Amino acid sequence: MVVMAPITAELIQVLRSTDTIQVYSLHRRCSPAEVASAVSVCINDPNAVVAVHALHIVADMDPPLPSSAIPTIAPNLISALAHSNPAVAAAALRTVEVTLTFERAISCYTAMIYCTDAKTH
């Protein structure tokens, strides 16, 4: 069982409720690591609305999610890009486009290669 900070658990619960106002209010009180942990869990939620909602949180963050948090969401972001639901895949692509500068893209690309490599071996 993974133990997480209470605020991370609360953010996951709110993300799953898809209450946009409550999510935006709560995620501003969380550290980037807490947001990344919560979003990472929700990106793979069986409910596509929850997954899209989580991806929008990352894409709309200001300031953006720091590079150090990218490896936390990278494996699930890869899965979301290949999701069978087109809304989830589109939200994942938008998240990648909006959040990654060139420098961050290199960091994310490296993390994605590592994660993909780990899944295939």
The structural domains of the chain, with segments of one domain joined by +, span: 6-120
pTM exceeds 0.85 for this model: no
pLDDT digits (tens, 9 = 90+) for 27-67: 777 788 888 888 888 898 888 998 998 888 888 877 777 87
pLDDT digits (tens, 9 = 90+) for 71-116: 888 888 888 988 899 999 999 988 888 776 655 666 666 766 766 6
Q: Which of 9-13, 21-25, 92-96, 107-111 has the lowest mean pLDDT?
A: 107-111
Q: Which of 58, 49, 50, 48 is nearest to 13 (CA)?
A: 50
- Calculate the dihedral angle through the C-alpha atoms of 19, 21, 24, 30, rounding to the nearest 10 degrees: -70
